Structure 1
């Protein structure tokens, strides 16, 4: 068996073989390997959008230049990296570090601040004397990035660092001439520039994924060697595992009369960070124009075999999986990027469209909420009812014949409201008290439908194009809570907790504006409410 391979079986095999034959007939493997943007129509995709195919080689120069900085940081005693990155940038860095050095990943050498729970920020503040902060974004300073930058700059100042010393504690990774580039240049921060044409979700082997992991102490050059070993196969019609994987994913997800559509993909096994990165790559790369592949973690897979669900094992032996992907970590990054581009071609969508307008919409909505109510944003409307300290705001589309009057009835109405070919998405804005993984297995068991989950606001930032522009057959459970211990954002009239709640309100509005059904639960006492909600989801009153 080669160092990397893909195997599929069962009903997926027939769909995959037919799709692969179609791809070969249309010349897709050779055209994609040659970086021909005309695959998606003349003028629709800029040539630079395919630059990720060169990264296994081009990024070696980046690592050579990075060596002196790594040595300088170690000499200065800086062995902890705080990465401020909401979206693909944070997911890529996590996945690269875990792939290159699982031990360092487990030791907490990299902490990602993505707008989620308080614990990550507390970890950074406790390690401030040994921390380098990396601001990573393809565009400008996000609303969360601004808050973290202000909090951490103030914390550095409190431990006695001068302005020059504070500037030395920041490194910025961004596109050339982006707003963040100007921001960093004005403050004298170290800057690492990337190609503006490179799609962020295809950037794991670029500076976005490699630099934070290398600064955290991982030897990432091996990943590039592993990815480079995949390149010779990418232009082949046969013996091309990445082409087969794309044919499996896209072939199963196509709406073809002769085949059952299997557009939900359960990612089984493998490193958790890799699965998270693959999920956002598939969602962003395929979710648009009413189509898309819905990724979900193993915890959200319903018992039995849902007819529209396809399972993929990321290495290891999973007897129930339909498709198996083997390969060293670096190979996996390039395999999945190529396969996503192929699957998107089969679905007739542009895999490189990052849905930047959706991201801006959510940020601008949150900013508008904070301008109107900076202290603590009020909730959008009165609750339908309050049950045990949990405010319930339902959706008419989920009410059915009887309007729920308690929490168990609201949960049941939500589960009954999932379409026969739909899914449930759990978005928790309380990751410290209520990780979505805690609810997903019971919800999948009770509904018999796939359940995906994530932490707000990063989850909809990562996968929003799929949910808002894809098949549009999702039902959403959004969980928020009244902020407890909180931190003010220096120079802003709001706190970090207020910002977090404003983001949640903006996301609820965005989903409802598109006619997507939302059950919104607000926990007045997050710790107690989370325990009660978990018990209710398990069917215990």
Structure 2
């Protein structure tokens, strides 16, 4: 039988140093002080932020009053024939519910995209049976606000009263709470304001959409409650302390990447959730740990990880893993949160702020406010792919093919660098693009991440700008055959999606990072050409 939660150290970067870090954390009673909400653990600069961000340590107790409210609303909706839950949320508002429902095998439509095709597909299916959960701490998240506006109009067009089909999760006193109550939406759930988004799995942001979809969310809280005495203990057997110590020491030895593979955990997509938690919490001040989520224990990047990466099995240990983390979903949530907070102490950073996230949002907003009169001119065009470059003179002037551009981008990566693939496409219908991660990793011998835009901007986007400055970036954008206006806004989703890609690319280039953007004028033909370019000898 699997323990409540456990960390197996298969091999440590330096066992003696790991023991020293463990001893330091225990000498300072870091776990129990964290449980008590001690905001001084990360130093005086971090204290103001930490003092309003530690309520997550008690969520296995404090979130229980939500259970009856969720159950009551689910029963009401089912009685009205409403059994399809659509979640509009970004980052911490969507990643945890996706893991929770996926693990339970319960359907949940997650909208964390600005791709018009993906949103249209979610719109047209059974509006009479659908409820929209709008999740945002403030309501100012542009993607989520756009989804709310679009669905409100679509409900009305289908003869469904929008007010009866929109449920909101937000912070108390937020502009979204006020606007939702004035609009008369079905219900407003208030989350704990003293929990940051990436630590919010066991708040209303994680529990409400999951519970409305049909998950037994009380079990999640029970699992976290069972793990709490272990992960908050001032003991050398504390699995969170062990995980934090190994990752911290590995980072000190140059292993700034954490490769995550599911080895049979029975949990669906935990790596994607942990990716945001670790990257956004640690990736700042030109340091941090970059999660690399791979397809399995035999995937490139895991089996051939170099000295710049620590391999972590989510599930049983394998021959390639340095660490193995096993336990139930609720226990895993709490373990990773505690370990990440403790890693922040080890690395000397504040694990609760995200100082570089807003830059890309501002750049995208400026592009929406003052759109270019003409589309950007590509460096060259190769069939159905326009090639755009920024971030320095890294592309040879005689380059004329996508394969040559890819080779040049990889060559621009510094020692211990990484390749980030960012697809501003349809996560459902363009899913094949995700297969490029493994192929690029195998051929480039770089640790390679893959993220769907704009959702990764609320996840690894902080690390890209604030963490180790050794990444090179491949953006994939494309023409959409769908048009979807955002009611009350002077732009449509396709315009917003492209502005988000261009805005983030602009900020990365300002950081001196090479950016290659491949714009697909035909997505189907573009995919074929992209795959061919990757597989070309020498690429």
Using the size of structure 2 for normalisation, the TM-score is: 0.92
Instruction: State the partner residue of 1:390.
Output: 385
Secondary structure at 1:277 match in 2: helix
In the TM superposition, what is the alpha-carbon distance from 1:436 to its structure 2 partner? 4.5
Instruction: State the partner residue of 2:215.
Output: 218
Q: How does 1:338-357 map to 2 (within 5 A)?
A: 338-355=338-355
Instruction: State the partner residue of 2:146.
Output: 147
1:504 to 501, 504, 509: 501
Distance (Å, rounded) in 2 between the aligned partners of 1:316 and 1:378:
54
In the TM superposition, what is the alpha-carbon distance from 1:401 to its structure 2 partner? 6.4
Q: Aligned-residue CA RMSD in angstroms?
A: 2.1
Instruction: State the partner residue of 2:309.
Output: 309
In the TM superposition, what is the alpha-carbon distance from 1:507 to its structure 2 partner? 1.4
Seen in structure 2, the aligned counterparts of structure 1 residues 11 and 201 have a Cα distance that, compared at 3 Å, is same
In the TM superposition, what is the alpha-carbon distance from 1:434 to its structure 2 partner? 5.6
Instruction: State the partner residue of 2:469.
Output: 472
Instruction: State the partner residue of 1:28.
Output: 30
Secondary structure at 1:38 match in 2: coil
Instruction: State the partner residue of 2:257.
Output: 264
Q: How does 1:67-106 map to 2 (within 5 A)?
A: 67-99=71-103, 101=104, 103-104=105-106
Instruction: State the partner residue of 2:425.
Output: 430
Q: How does 1:95-494 map to 2 (within 5 A)?
A: 95-99=99-103, 101=104, 103-104=105-106, 108-116=107-115, 118-119=117-118, 121-161=120-160, 165-189=161-185, 190-233=187-230, 234-254=232-252, 260-269=253-262, 270=265, 271-299=267-295, 301-302=300-301, 304-355=304-355, 358-373=356-371, 378-379=374-375, 381-395=376-390, 397=392, 399=394, 403-431=398-426, 432-433=429-430, 435-494=432-491
More moved, 135-144 vs 220-229? 135-144
In the TM superposition, what is the alpha-carbon distance from 1:59 to its structure 2 partner? 0.8
Tell whether 2:65 aligns with 1:61.
yes
Distance (Å, rounded) in 2 between the aligned partners of 1:125 and 1:456:
22
Using the size of structure 1 for normalisation, the TM-score is: 0.92
Distance (Å, rounded) in 2 between the aligned partners of 1:53 and 1:326:
20
CA contact (8 A) 2:168 2:188 kept: yes
In the TM superposition, what is the alpha-carbon distance from 1:429 to its structure 2 partner? 0.8
In the TM superposition, what is the alpha-carbon distance from 1:331 to its structure 2 partner? 0.4
CA contact (8 A) 1:279 1:295 kept: yes
Seen in structure 2, the aligned counterparts of structure 1 residues 396 and 514 have a Cα distance that, compared at 3 Å, is closer
Distance (Å, rounded) in 1 between the aligned partners of 2:11 and 2:277:
25
- Structure 2: runs of 5 or more not aligned: none
Seen in structure 2, the aligned counterparts of structure 1 residues 506 and 377 have a Cα distance that, compared at 3 Å, is farther
- Structure 1: runs of 5 or more not aligned: 255-259
More moved, 364-373 vs 330-339? 364-373
In the TM superposition, what is the alpha-carbon distance from 1:92 to its structure 2 partner? 1.4
